[in-house]
Homo-oligomer: A and B are copies of this chain.
Amino acid sequence: MTAPLEALALARRITEQAYKAGASLVTTLFVDDEATLLRFRYASDTMFDRAPEWFYNGLAAAYASGTARLAITGSNPALLANEEPAKVARANVAMSKASRPALELIARHEINWTIVPSATPAWAKLVFPNESEQDAMSHLWDGIFAATRANASDPVAAWKKHTTALERRVDILNGKRYSALHFRGPGTDLRVGLADDHLWLGGATMSRNGIRCIPNMPTEEVFTTPHKDRVDGVVRSTKPLSYQGALIENIEVRFERGSVVEARSTQGEQVLRGMLDTDEGARKLGEVALVPHSSPVAASGILYWNTLFDENAASHIALGQAYSTCMRNSDSLSTEERFARGANESLIHVDWMIGSGEVDVDGINADRSSEPVMRRGEWV
């Protein structure tokens, strides 16, 4: 388990329940935002291309031996907003490279994993800037409990019903076999080709160690693999993105034959460019996901500055690594075979939001005919 220091109370509750549920050993690695800041403030400028490889390789070794992974998210989304963008970008690239082996095992769902939120003071104050810390924390917890269905009278039953509904949607989309999706809205006219043999997923996942898990809580998305070379057009982000502590706002991007060829943003542009320069695959899409504008997270009207929430409030795309499980018969395909079918490869996987109540989505069939999938952000 990883957790911000400020999420200690939740980490301990999860630890207790994990042991009661049969865990043999729960190891929690706490992240101290303050220590990250101290590095940016005091470390020599030459030092930002280093990452703790031993640590990420250790995580990969743990996953390879079947260890479950739980991440508590809640660090300050704006932690590095005032740090030098070039240094932030370099630190992120180093971290992405070091964590690649571990991320690959996660992306392949070799083990059961999940990401859950904890309110923290810095995050709460960013979401509710005009409230006292105490009120902001209380309101953020309210939002978390609602979005994660923890406040349902029977949360487990509520999750079963919810994942069943997502799986029904997945089944419909998998029956369609669209060759592409077409997004249209203010600043957006984007055609996202889907990978050959693409598979829609959503809700719970059966991991390769045989344990069924819900990788994100909350989760409202159904998602699949775009074709890395078949994305064309322009797209405008509909929510700000918090990427590794930096804020990137009002992204506008143009794709040609799969790759980002133009990119700008009104804030965080240098971090955005650093992200795009991580590797060749960082300019291509690895995921496309559909989320209705009426999802509970979106309906709250709250901007969370946290991908786990905001990606479940709007349809989105992700630059970078594809999920290998989002392809039919993925278990029997090699990396090369998945790549040949259009699944992107990269050190990064960064979701950003392109859906809203003003965005329409069409499904394009193999015969080039099209049909409405979403209108004004809602399922047709």
Contact = CB atoms under 8 A, between A and B. Distances in A.
Interface of A: 5, 8, 11-12, 15-16, 19-20, 22-30, 32, 34-35, 38-39, 41-44, 47, 50-55, 57-59, 61-62, 65, 67
A27 to B, nearest CB: 5
B38 A23 contact: no
A163 B54 CA distance: 33
Given A19-B38, A25-B52, A52-B27, A8 B8 contact: no
Nearest to A40: B19
Given A8-B32, A52-B62, A54-B61, 19 more contacts: A5-B5, A5-B30, A11-B32, A12-B32, A12-B38, A15-B35, A16-B41, A19-B38, A22-B44, A24-B43, A25-B39, A25-B51, A27-B52, A27-B55, A29-B29, A30-B32, A55-B58, A57-B61, A58-B58
B26 A35 contact: yes
Nearest to A60: B54
Given A15-B38, A19-B38, A29-B29, A54 B44 contact: no
Nearest to A29: B29
14 contacts: A11-B32, A12-B38, A19-B41, A19-B42, A19-B43, A19-B44, A22-B44, A23-B47, A29-B29, A29-B30, A54-B65, A54-B67, A57-B58, A57-B61
How many copies of the chain does the oligomer comprise? 2
In order of increasing CB-CB distance, the 8 nearest A-B pairs are A58-B58, A19-B42, A54-B62, A24-B47, A54-B61, A19-B43, A30-B30, A54-B58
Given A54-B65, A62-B54, A19 B32 contact: no
Nearest to A25: B50
Nearest to A35: B15
A28 B35 CA distance: 9
Contacts of A38: 12, 15-16, 19, 26
Contacts of A20: 42
Given A12-B38, A58-B55, A61-B54, A25 B47 contact: yes
Contacts of A62: 52, 54-55
Contacts of A42: 16, 19-20
A271 B208 CA distance: 40
Contacts of A41: 16, 19
Contacts of A32: 8, 11-12, 28, 30
A47 B58 CA distance: 21
Contact of A39 (B26, B34, B65): B26
Nearest to A59: B54
A57 B62 CA distance: 10
Contacts of A27: 52, 55
A26 to B, nearest CB: 7
A237 to B, nearest CB: 31
A27 B43 CA distance: 13
Contacts of A28: 32, 35
A67 to B, nearest CB: 7
A26 B31 CA distance: 12
Contacts of A57: 58, 61
A51 B65 CA distance: 13
A44 to B, nearest CB: 6
